[in-house]
Chain A
Amino acid sequence: MSSFSVTDPSPRSKWFAGTLVILYALITMVPLAWIMLTGFKSPSDAISYPPKVVFEPTLEGYVNLFTTRTRQTDEYLQANPPKTWYEEIVREYDMVIAGPSKFGERFLNSVIIGFGSTFLSIVLGTLAAYAFSRFKIPLADDLLFFILSTRMMPPIAVAIPIFLMYRQLGLSDTHLGMILLYTAVNISLAVWLLKGFIDEIPREYEEAALIDGYTRFQAFYKVVLPQAATGIASTAIFCLIFAWNEYAFAVLLTSGTAQTAPPFIPTIIGVGGLDWPAVAAGATIFLLPVMIFTILLRKHLLRGITFGAVRK
């Protein structure tokens, strides 16, 4: 008897599949690695051709990302020797740090708007999906199609009406406005994805909870929600990625208080044009929250929580 069954892949095909996956991973990692490395390059290394793979790393990009700097006279520079390591970096260009840049604020805006809209999409989406899944709703199919149809054009196609509407309503350049906008775009995805997940949860669980003396809402909250955790987690990741990366509406509708990081990062100007290392540093930091969020929810993405509890 051989050690593997006929339905298991053979060692050779496993090896082939493994190689393919690693190769694909490497290819997709190249831009990521390029951005991360560029963040540690000096401006001249960043734009040198052919690109430098081996270079002397510097934190200049990160310092420039978080600070604004001014050029000063030699007398001033000599009278005030640099006190910190980041001031030293700036001194190489005969500059001093004038204050923090707006990156922190913009990044915080991204966090508020991204997570806020994700939270709202999930709350509304879960309730709607539960209703569509469990209750007899008149014209349910038509309503679901209508919800999906909002996705049938690129959101930016309605940019001008939204721009005008937001100006009228005073929602331009506000956190609330951006949260509502991203929620509106994400909700159709959330409803459809979550409905699929909730459909798969057997009704018996809720019925058992009703029998056990709980109200419909308690049954939903205590029994359905934990079961739908997998679906909620993956839907949340999709929603967050969209809201986090959205660029066009952010450029159009925000300029100051509610500006998110994507429109801000490319505008970082350094000495003599765009400061590529600072842009790359900003992009690197910008990647982190989604990455951390995905890693945190990874456990829930693996199915199997409900496996075995109901015999089908």
Chain B
Amino acid sequence: MAQIVIDRIRKEFGDFTAVRESSFTIEDGEFFMLLGPSGCGKTTTLRMIAGLELPTSGQIFLDGEDISQKPPSQRDIAFVFQMFALYPHMNVRKNLSYPLISQGMPRAQVRAKISEVAEILGIKDILNRPVGGLSGGDRQRVALGRAIVREPKAFMMDEPLGALDAEFREHMAEELRALHDRMNATTVYVTHDQLEAMQMGDKIVVMNNAVVEQFGTPQEIYDKPATMFVADFIGSPSMNFLRFDGVIEDGARWVSLDGVTLNVPRQLQGAAGTLVFGVRPEHVALTDTGRYRGKILASEYLGTTQIVTLATANGEIKARIDSAQTAAIGETVGLEFDARKITLFDEASGTAIRSTLNSEVLAHG
């Protein structure tokens, strides 16, 4: 098991830059998520760690050893492909034994190892079946089995649940997480699904346009987004952005929107120009007393909660409120925000302004 350090890694395909100077560290035993929209460079990063692509510059350290230019066969890293990539001309048992045979493991030992893995994954009864006729979930299990059977230093997973039905994904996600907790192996997992990342990951790297936007625990990323992109990408519905022109002084504890004073965490940095008041929908409350006003445009009923869309002087805003609370369309109501959870952004750079809320996160991000 191993620690992986990514140091200013960069990948170019001709004129196209897929990954731009990215650095982060994956600790031993972590379930590490690479999250981002398609084309952001997350899969390329994963493939570079596995050795399927070689970085244009930068280094990758596996337990302190620079592996960035080594062929994949010499890295001892397993890879689970999105499309499973089970060898179609072999049955399940052969697929599982393939990585062991390449190591020259004796037959008896291979057999023992396979039955052990088949036991863990619950695929004992399909060992002699061809892979062609298997269901999506079984194929997924065989693909996982092929990865864990050789006990590699780390696992790379490229959207392994992407090809499964929605219903089954949930189940497989739990199985995967349980498997990881049992084996305690360093796992790097690529996904574009922020829910999956939040649900399964110990740490998340959010990538966009070939750069790392933020790197931290799911809580940090959700509560203390470093950029507007992260704030927008994580959460459903995503963070509300209320734009306003103004000046923030270092040490400010409030901002003024539409003539209304709103409290914010103490700012540690001055800013001016077009600024953005970022607030999560669950930190917005509808009250009669609130001085900041909004007109209700729509309401989506979600069972225990409802999402109310309102028009304000600074743009549209969504609030997640108790479904028992009445929200009549067309009505103008007061809005209150949870002052401790507000993040201010600089619109031009798209980055968060440092405050007591996020200063720690921004320091290492």
Contacts and interface: CB of A to CB of B under 8 A. Distances in A.
Interface string A209-234: 11111110010000100110000000
Considering the complex of A and B, which 8 residue pairs feature the smallest CB-CB distances, nearest first?
A309-B88, A204-B85, A213-B102, A212-B99, A308-B132, A208-B85, A226-B89, A211-B79
Interface of B: 50-52, 71-73, 77-79, 81, 83-89, 98-99, 102-103, 131-133, 136, 139, 146, 150, 163
B99 A306 contact: no
A307 interface: yes
Given A207-B52, A211-B78, A212-B98, A311 B84 contact: yes
B79 A208 contact: yes
Nearest to B143: A208
B88 A305 contact: yes
A21 to B, nearest CB: 30
A208 B83 CA distance: 11
Given A309-B86, A310-B88, A208 B81 contact: yes
A213 B84 contact: no
Given A204-B85, A213-B102, A309-B132, 13 more contacts: A202-B85, A204-B83, A207-B72, A207-B85, A208-B86, A210-B51, A210-B71, A213-B73, A214-B73, A215-B73, A227-B89, A308-B132, A311-B84
A226 B139 CA distance: 20
A205 B85 contact: yes
29 contacts: A202-B83, A205-B85, A205-B87, A207-B52, A207-B72, A207-B85, A208-B79, A208-B81, A208-B87, A209-B87, A210-B73, A211-B72, A211-B78, A211-B79, A212-B73, A213-B99, A213-B102, A226-B89, A305-B89, A306-B88, A308-B88, A308-B131, A309-B86, A309-B132, A310-B83, A310-B88, A311-B83, A311-B139, A311-B163
Nearest to A216: B71
Contacts of B83: 202, 204, 310-312
A157 B88 CA distance: 45
A211 B88 contact: no
A207 B79 contact: yes
Given A204-B85, A212-B146, A227-B89, A307 B77 contact: no
A15 B148 CA distance: 54
B102 A310 contact: no
Contacts of B52: 207, 210-211
A308 B85 contact: no
B85 A307 contact: no
A218 B101 CA distance: 12
Contacts of A208: 79, 81, 85-87, 146
Interface in A72-118: none
Nearest to A223: B87
Contact of B85 (A213, A310, A312): A310
Contacts of B133: 308
Contacts of A212: 73, 98-99, 102, 146, 150
A207 B79 CA distance: 9
Interface in A222-249: 223, 226-227
B88 A214 contact: no
A309 B131 contact: yes
Nearest to A214: B102
A210 B72 contact: yes
A136 to B, nearest CB: 9
Nearest to A309: B88
A297 B282 CA distance: 66
Contacts of B51: 210-211
A78 to B, nearest CB: 68
A231 to B, nearest CB: 14
A207 B52 CA distance: 7
Interface string A194-207: 00000000101101
B88 A204 contact: no
Nearest to B72: A210
Contacts of A215: 71, 73
